[in-house]
């Protein structure tokens, strides 16, 4: 790890003010950032910790929806009765992330901004596109854990399994920066594909800090289904988060694309209809229809069908899994 | 013979590990926990790719980093990712890491060899084994011929404590710490490197966090630490990071196993052809596979080829060559049984070579509920889950070997048991203490166990499951001598003719006429402050060994839509000879089963085919079983013989696991996954193949 200066923000204002300098990186729980620094994928001169800003840890109901502080840990999301009762889609994904130990430290904002787990990007031996190199190793290399949607020219998976739930709920992120009014950005517009921006996975600009998240609407029904190779200590290999807002279904897939993948074809099947076995199956087929698998990740196409169907059935209370 | 449901052990020891409190409070000090004043830090400069030549280096920049003492590149070309090309030595960890980064090597990469299936000599181009005609005759003599090929992947050791050494050279002597499976091997290697007599090297490995076969001798770490300490006359520490652990500490080699076997209608295996290939490093071998083994395969014409790849070379790993062999063998057994419509367990009974295992089949089948097994699996819930059952076997040899134990008795009643061997996490320390305390008849609180130092009596390297087996008879012997000596003194004190009729229990000596004396009081009869009793012979305490037989039964569910395998239960029957301490025995069995499961379902060293670099040299992408992946495991301590000695336990319980799981999965989905690990991708591919067929 490269030596760095460690800054501790006293309050949010001070944090926002000192953030935005060149080569200062924000640290919340620090789980992801430290991994990147150890491998020298990130070599910041300074690290600004916001982890102690307890004002940014809350889950509360307000007039315009449920507000969640950016530093709320995944463990707290998992413990929340409010989320459990009314936002199953988010609750299930947060409660199942990683391990209890990770969830105690991992913050909601840090989870959304964690960098991809692509094994080329994460190992400095590979001068891949995302590492400012000139090639992507995925197409001709080992690609069983890479994207089947929206890939080229860089086939990463978005690593957060909470993000698809927020996209399904049409959540809104509150973003603040020095000398500017707080901005509101829809989760669905927050994440960007590699072809739009290679060196980031979202629209945050220098100096911008996520301070909170709003769930504007209580879904009529919702669920997340995640599949993992290992049941402990692992990221999903495929997930589906579904939510029925007003009458319309929103269906977002995880671990299949460089961003949480809102599946328009599946949503077109469901629209505002009640879930039946047949419809759920059709939605799964539709979701898988637009996939472009690589040499070794075709199994994810099958998994997309399964998770979409199962998530819809689970949301409708008809789930067998 | 019998097993006992409650797993009570012969010596009735049910105590937790002796060092339990030290381990859970962090008081136990491992090699990495030792820091000495003015200590230097050194590490290897490594090749980043499978087959690559250095094209750019900034040695001067690296040397210019403050606190750097030496930067040397000895080799220009590396033949695997992690191959050692040179080293850096510095005054601090920070300087070391900055110098590594400043070096900023660039390489010219050759197309590497990364896939055993591409690089091996194909079957039809191999030289025919000498006895091929006999094997062909056996095949002809058979009613049915069955043919299949199986593949296993490379597994890394993943020791909890990384490989490392700290050496403090002082001119005419040295102190050293190392993470090792061989106190004396490590010490002797350092002595050679430092050009000192072994007796002048004080080596210490009181606590070791796993080795699994990868930590004999001083290794690359001890050698570099010794060289640097001698050169700069300061202590030097070399401890690998997790990535180096994954790249270059050895591994269980991958294998391909082709089998064509003939059987009779009655289920007797007649013989046939077995060809195996093992994936090894760019030079050298070590890829052997123990196929055939355990079952009576009749007349086999066998060949083996080590296949050189540009990957880290293999090293012995817990039962080297065995688990991968049994993966193929057990699946082949099920396949042959299926071919003639015989129950797989019955088929095994017909071809089993061990009577103990035949009895284990019956006991284990009852415990797992083998009668619930259905061909093609059990449909659990009219949904996607299918349940299957599988069985696998193993065993281990129990030869004799060298060791010595000293038992010291102090006038204050303290008893010390000494042996220099290391406890690599197996519970050896506890075994030694329990033998001595129980044989004398005193409580554990009166006993101190001292191990893992070269100044103590000789102990074996922990390889081949020998440590307890070699040491226990000497522990009995030395304890016996100590006990007799004290009883002699008591007999004199009580004016008895001899020690007949004297016994020790719970630290109290009892004699005729209800006479009693506390152990501590008896020890005050000693005229010296301390008396030592040593044993390097086994005497009456060497017992006719068992075969350390093992049988495991598995119940597993497979989600046929997702390909995810959920292992639910494993019953592990294990003959250990004399079980000394229930916890450590059960712990060895359970730990081996978990490691076997992890190998079967998850672990895989993956080399990038373009560059030869390992893509998963860490602990999240190299997947290892976690708590939720661990099923209900029932270890059963089996007794096959009255009055046995302490027999092998470290290795035998890992031998059956992956074969048994693979058979359970095959039973559940009605077709075999012939290639490990059994990931969702593999399982789905096989199910899709079956549906197409
Ligand atoms: C074994 C293991 C398994 C895991 N499994 C899963 C899983 O199943 N699903 C999953 O989603 N994740 C998983 N993770 C990842 C883990 O959830 C994330 O690393 C964690 O959530 C990151 O949160 P953090 O607070 O530690 O972020 P940090 O490491 O502190 O930050 C991560 C990134 O976010 C940026 N950042 C942090 N806070 C803000 C903010 N307020 N505004 C703007 N930028 C910010 C940082 O600058 C940094 O770039 C796993 C991790 C491990 C170790």
Confidence tier at A53 by pLDDT (50, 70, 90) = very high
What domains are there in chain B, each with its CATH number? Answer: 163-239 (3.30.365.10), 251-397+545-692 (3.30.365.10), 405-541 (3.30.365.10)
In chain B, positions 69-88, which contact chain A (CB-CB < 8 Å)? 81
Helix (H, G, I), strand (E, B) or coil at A22: coil
Burial class (CB in 10 A: 0-12, 13-18, 19+), A218: middle
Apex B21 CA angle, B18 and B24, nearest 5: 125
- Residue among A117, A126, A229 whose CB faces B679 most closely: A229
| % pLDDT > 70, chain B | 98
Q: Reply yes or no on whether the pLDDT at B11 is more than 70.
A: no
Tokens found for residue B12 = 């009735």
**Protein residue closest via CA to atom 17 of ligand 1:** A111
- Residue among A117, A123, A141 whose CB faces B609 most closely: A141
Chain B residues near residue A232 by CB distance under 8 angstroms: 625-629
Q: Is B628 close to A231, i.e. CB distance below 8 A?
A: yes
Confidence tier at B126 by pLDDT (50, 70, 90) = very high
- Strand B155-156 versus strand B251-252 pairing type: antiparallel
**φ, ψ (nearest 5 deg) of residue A273:** -90, 155
Summarize pLDDT for B36-76 with one digit per residue, the tens: 999 999 999 999 999 999 999 999 999 999 999 999 999 99
For position B641, what pLDDT does the model report?
Answer: 85
Give Rg (Cα) of chain B.
28
The CA dihedral of B409, B411, B413, B417, to the nearest 10 degrees, is -20
For chain A, the straight-line distance linking the first and the last C-alpha, in angstroms and rounded, comes to 43
**φ, ψ (nearest 5 deg) of residue B508:** -125, 130
Confidence tier at B2 by pLDDT (50, 70, 90) = very low
Span A111-137, average pLDDT: 97
ipTM of this complex prediction, to 2 decimal places: 0.97
Confidence tier at B6 by pLDDT (50, 70, 90) = very low
- From the CA of A112, how far away is ligand 1's center (Å)? 7
Summarize pLDDT for A179-211 with one digit per residue, the tens: 999 999 999 999 999 999 999 999 999 899 999
Rounded Cα gap, residues A164 and A254, in angstroms: 6
- From the CA of B253, how far away is ligand 1's center (Å)? 35
Q: Reply yes or no on whether the pLDDT at B483 is more than 90.
A: yes
Q: Which residues of B275-298 are buried (b: 16+ CB within 10 A; e: fewer)?
A: bbbbbbbbeebbbbbbbbbbbebb
Chain B residues near residue A122 by CB distance under 8 angstroms: 618, 621
- Residue among A40, A144, A320 whose CB faces B381 most closely: A320
Instruction: Tell me the residue length of chain A.
Output: 321
Long-range contacts (CB closer than 8 Å, 24 or more residues apart) made by B344-352: B344/B391, B344/B663, B345/B370, B345/B391, B346/B267, B347/B267, B348/B295, B348/B391, B348/B393, B350/B266, B350/B267, B350/B268, B351/B267, B351/B268, B351/B269, B351/B295, B351/B296, B351/B297, B352/B294, B352/B295, B352/B296, B352/B393
For position B7, what pLDDT does the model report?
Answer: 52
Rounded Cα gap, residues A260 and A257, in angstroms: 7
- From the CA of A110, how far away is ligand 1's center (Å)? 4
Span A88-114, average pLDDT: 95
**φ, ψ (nearest 5 deg) of residue A127:** -85, 70
Q: Reply yes or no on whether the pLDDT at B110 is more than 60.
A: yes
| % pLDDT > 90, chain B | 96
Q: Measured between CB atoms, does B623 come within 8 Å of chain A?
A: yes
Span A51-76, average pLDDT: 97
Rounded Cα gap, residues B367 and B633, in angstroms: 12
- From the CA of A295, how far away is ligand 1's center (Å)? 29
Taking any CB pair shorter than 8 Å as contact, residues of chain A touching chain B are 1-3, 40, 99, 117, 119-120, 122-123, 125-126, 137, 140-142, 144-145, 227-235, 237, 296-297, 299, 302-303, 306, 320-321
Average pLDDT of chain B, as a whole number: 96
Which atom of ligand 1 lies at the shortest distance from residue A98's CA?
Answer: 5
Confidence tier at B12 by pLDDT (50, 70, 90) = low
Rounded Cα gap, residues B337 and B340, in angstroms: 6
List, as one string, the DSSP characters of A127-185: -BGGGT-SB-STTTS--TTS-SSS-TT--PPP--SSHHHHHHTT-EEEEE-TTS--EEE
Q: Which of A12, A26, A95 to mutate to test the pocket of ligand 1 (most atoms within 8 A of CB)?
A: A26
Burial class (CB in 10 A: 0-12, 13-18, 19+), B151: middle
Best mutation target, B108, B243, B620, to test chain A (most A CBs within 10 A): B620
A94: nearest Cα among A153, A26, A169, A1: A169
Best mutation target, A133, A229, A321, to test chain B (most B CBs within 10 A): A229
Rounded Cα gap, residues A154 and A158, in angstroms: 12
Q: Measured between CB atoms, does B691 come within 8 Å of chain A?
A: no
Summarize pLDDT for B507-526 with one digit per residue, the tens: 999 999 999 999 999 999 99
For position B8, what pLDDT does the model report?
Answer: 47
Q: Is A234 close to B620, i.e. CB distance below 8 A?
A: yes
Confidence tier at A151 by pLDDT (50, 70, 90) = confident
Confidence tier at B112 by pLDDT (50, 70, 90) = very high
Q: Reply yes or no on whether the pLDDT at A18 is more than 70.
A: yes
A296: nearest Cα among B273, B391, B684, B544: B684
For position B5, what pLDDT does the model report?
Answer: 46
For position B1, what pLDDT does the model report?
Answer: 36
- From the CA of A27, how far away is ligand 1's center (Å)? 9
Chain A residues near residue B627 by CB distance under 8 angstroms: 232
For position B9, what pLDDT does the model report?
Answer: 47
Confidence tier at B643 by pLDDT (50, 70, 90) = confident
- Residue among B384, B615, B688 whose CB faces A123 most closely: B615
For position A318, what pLDDT does the model report?
Answer: 87
Chain A residues near residue B611 by CB distance under 8 angstroms: 125-126, 137
Rounded Cα gap, residues A264 and A128, in angstroms: 30
- Residues in contact with ligand 1 by the CB-under-6-Å rule are A 25-33, 70, 97-98, 102, 105-107, 109-111, 113-114, 159-162, 204, 209-210, 233, 235-236; B 620
Q: Is A303 close to B384, i.e. CB distance below 8 A?
A: no
- E-strand ranges in chain A read 5-8, 24-27, 46-49, 59-62, 65-69, 172-176, 183-186, 209-215, 221-227, 238-245, 248-254, 261-262
Summarize pLDDT for B335-392 with one digit per residue, the tens: 999 999 999 999 999 999 999 999 999 999 999 999 999 999 999 987 899 999 999 9
Best mutation target, B54, B106, B310, B561, to test chain A (most A CBs within 10 A): B561
Chain A residues near residue B617 by CB distance under 8 angstroms: 123
| % pLDDT > 70, chain A | 98
Burial class (CB in 10 A: 0-12, 13-18, 19+), B94: middle
Q: Is B383 close to A2, i.e. CB distance below 8 A?
A: no
Rounded Cα gap, residues B436 and B476, in angstroms: 6
Q: Is B609 close to A228, i.e. CB distance below 8 A?
A: no
Q: Reply yes or no on whether the pLDDT at A60 is more than 70.
A: yes
Q: Is A123 close to B561, i.e. CB distance below 8 A?
A: no
For position A149, what pLDDT does the model report?
Answer: 98
In chain B, positions 101-120, which contact chain A (CB-CB < 8 Å)? 101
- Residue among B561, B610, B626 whose CB faces A233 most closely: B626
Confidence tier at B642 by pLDDT (50, 70, 90) = confident
Q: What residues contact B607, with CB distance under 8 A and at least 6 apart?
A: B50, B81, B112, B114, B309, B310, B311, B613, B614, B615
User: How far apart are the CA of B238 and the nearest CA of chain A, in angstroms?
Assistant: 17
Chain B residues near residue A304 by CB distance under 8 angstroms: none
Burial class (CB in 10 A: 0-12, 13-18, 19+), B497: exposed
Looking up tokens 């430092």, which residue turns up?
B194
For position B4, what pLDDT does the model report?
Answer: 46
Best mutation target, A230, A231, A319, to test chain B (most B CBs within 10 A): A230
Q: Measured between CB atoms, does B629 come within 8 Å of chain A?
A: yes
Confidence tier at B194 by pLDDT (50, 70, 90) = very high
For position A198, what pLDDT does the model report?
Answer: 97
User: How far apart are the CA of A44 and the nearest CA of chain B, in angstroms?
Assistant: 14
Give the other-Cβ count within 10 Å of B501's Cβ: 13
Q: Is B613 close to A123, i.e. CB distance below 8 A?
A: yes
Chain A residues near residue B601 by CB distance under 8 angstroms: 229-230
Q: Is A122 close to B97, i.e. CB distance below 8 A?
A: no
Chain A / chain B CB contacts < 8 angstroms:
97
Helix (H, G, I), strand (E, B) or coil at B613: coil
**Protein residue closest via CA to atom 11 of ligand 1:** A160
Q: Is B681 close to A296, i.e. CB distance below 8 A?
A: yes
Span B544-571, average pLDDT: 97
């Amino acid at each position: 790890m490269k030596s760095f200066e460690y800054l501790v923000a006293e309050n949010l204002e001070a944090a926002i003010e000192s953030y935005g300098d060149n080569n200062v990186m924000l640290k919340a729980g620090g789980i992801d950032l430290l991994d990147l620094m150890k491998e020298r994928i990130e070599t910041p001169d300074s690290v600004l910790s916001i982890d102690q800003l307890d004002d940014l840890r809350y889950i509360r109901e307000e007039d315009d929806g449920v507000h969640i502080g950016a530093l709320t840990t995944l463990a707290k999301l998992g413990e929340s009765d409010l989320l459990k009762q009314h936002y199953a889609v988010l609750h299930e994904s947060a409660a199942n992330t990683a391990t209890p130990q990770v969830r105690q430290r991992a913050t909601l904002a840090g989870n959304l901004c964690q960098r991809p787990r692509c094994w080329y990007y994460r190992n400095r031996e590979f001068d891949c596109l995302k590492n400012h190199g000139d090639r992507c190793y995925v197409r001709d290399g080992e690609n069983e854990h890479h994207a089947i949607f929206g890939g080229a020219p860089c086939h990463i998976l978005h690593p957060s399994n909470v993000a698809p739930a927020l996209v399904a709920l049409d959540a809104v992120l509150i973003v603040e920066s020095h000398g500017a009014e707080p901005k509101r950005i829809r989760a669905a517009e927050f994440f960007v594909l590699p072809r739009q921006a290679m060196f980031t996975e979202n629209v945050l600009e220098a100096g911008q800090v996520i301070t909170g998240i709003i769930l504007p609407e209580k879904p009529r029904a919702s669920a997340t289904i995640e599949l993992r190779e290992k049941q402990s200590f692992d990221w999903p290999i495929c997930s589906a988060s579904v939510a029925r807002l007003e009458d319309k279904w929103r269906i977002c897939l995880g671990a299949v694309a460089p961003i949480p993948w809102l599946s328009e074809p599946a949503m077109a099947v469901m629209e505002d209809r009640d879930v039946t076995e047949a419809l759920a199956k059709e939605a799964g087929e539709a979701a898988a229809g637009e996939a472009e698998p690589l040499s070794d990740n075709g199994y994810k196409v099958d998994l997309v069908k399964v998770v979409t169907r199962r998530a819809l059935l689970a949301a409708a209370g008809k789930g067998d899994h | 013979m019998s097993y006992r449901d409650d797993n009570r052990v012969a010596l009735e020891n049910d105590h937790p590990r002796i060092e339990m409190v030290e381990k859970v409070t962090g008081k136990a000090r491992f090699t990495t926990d030792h820091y000495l004043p003015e200590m230097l830090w050194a590490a290897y400069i490594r090749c980043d790719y499978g087959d690559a030549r250095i094209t750019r280096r900034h040695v001067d920049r690296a040397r210019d980093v403050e606190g750097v003492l030496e930067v040397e590149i000895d080799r220009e070309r590396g033949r695997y990712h992690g191959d050692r090309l040179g080293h850096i030595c510095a005054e601090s960890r920070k300087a070391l890491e900055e110098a590594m980064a400043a070096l900023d090597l660039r390489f010219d990469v050759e197309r590497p060899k990364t896939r055993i299936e591409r690089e091996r000599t194909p079957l039809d181009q191999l030289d025919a084994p000498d006895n091929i005609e006999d094997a062909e005759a056996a095949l002809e003599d058979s009613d049915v011929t069955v043919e299949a090929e199986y593949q296993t992947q490379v597994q890394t050791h993943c020791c909890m404590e990384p490989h490392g050494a700290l050496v403090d050279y002082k001119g005419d002597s040295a102190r050293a710490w190392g993470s090792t499976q061989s106190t004396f091997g490590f010490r002797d290697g350092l002595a050679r490197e430092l050009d000192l007599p072994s007796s002048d090297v004080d080596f210490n490995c009181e606590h070791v966090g796993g080795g699994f076969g990868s930590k004999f001798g001083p290794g690359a770490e001890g050698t570099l630490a010794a060289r640097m300490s001698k050169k700069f006359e300061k202590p030097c520490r070399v401890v690998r990071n997790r990535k180096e652990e994954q790249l270059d500490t050895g591994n269980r080699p991958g294998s391909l196993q082709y089998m064509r076997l003939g059987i009779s209608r009655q289920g007797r295996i007649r013989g046939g052809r077995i060809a195996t290939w093992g994936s090894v490093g760019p030079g050298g071998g070590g890829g052997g596979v123990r196929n055939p083994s355990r079952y009576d395969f009749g007349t086999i014409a066998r060949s083996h080829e080590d296949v050189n790849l540009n990957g880290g070379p293999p090293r012995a790993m817990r039962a080297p060559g065995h688990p991968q062999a049994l993966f193929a063998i057990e699946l082949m057994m099920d396949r042959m049984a299926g071919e003639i419509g015989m129950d797989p367990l019955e088929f095994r009974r017909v071809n089993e070579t061990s009577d103990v295992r035949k009895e284990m089949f019956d006991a284990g089948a009852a415990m797992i509920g083998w009668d619930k097994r259905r061909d093609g699996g059990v449909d659990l819930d009219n949904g996607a889950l299918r349940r299957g059952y599988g069985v696998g076997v193993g065993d281990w040899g129990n030869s004799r070997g060298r060791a010595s134990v000293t038992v010291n008795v102090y006038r204050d009643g303290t008893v010390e048991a000494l042996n220099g061997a290391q406890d690599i996490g197996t519970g050896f320390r506890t075994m030694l203490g329990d033998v001595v305390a129980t044989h004398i008849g005193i409580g554990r609180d009166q006993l101190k166990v001292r191990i893992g130092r070269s100044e103590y009596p000789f102990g074996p390297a922990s390889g081949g499951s020998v440590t307890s087996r070699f040491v226990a008879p000497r522990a009995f012997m030395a304890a016996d001598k100590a006990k007799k000596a004290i009883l002699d003194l008591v007999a004199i004190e009580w004016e008895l003719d001899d020690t007949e009729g004297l016994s020790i229990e719970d630290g109290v000596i009892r004699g005729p006429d209800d006479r009693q004396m506390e152990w501590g009081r008896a020890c005050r009869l000693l005229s010296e402050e301390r008396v030592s009793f040593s044993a390097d012979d086994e005497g009456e305490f060497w017992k006719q060994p068992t075969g350390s037989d093992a049988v495991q039964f598995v119940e597993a569910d497979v989600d046929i839509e997702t390909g995810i395998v959920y292992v639910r239960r494993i019953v592990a029957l294990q003959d250990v000879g004399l079980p000394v301490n229930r916890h450590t025995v059960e712990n060895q069995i359970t730990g081996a089963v978990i490691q076997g499961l992890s190998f079967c379902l998850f672990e895989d060293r993956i080399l990038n085919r373009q560059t030869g670099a390992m893509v998963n040299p860490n602990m999240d992408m190299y997947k290892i079983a976690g708590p939720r992946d661990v099923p209900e495991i029932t270890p059963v301590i089996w007794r096959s013989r009255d009055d046995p000695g302490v027999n092998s336990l470290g290795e035998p319980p890992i031998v059956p696991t992956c074969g048994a799981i693979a058979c359970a999965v095959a039973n559940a989905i009605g077709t075999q996954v012939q290639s490990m690990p059994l990931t969702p991708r593999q399982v789905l591919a096989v199910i899709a193949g079956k549906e197409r067929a």
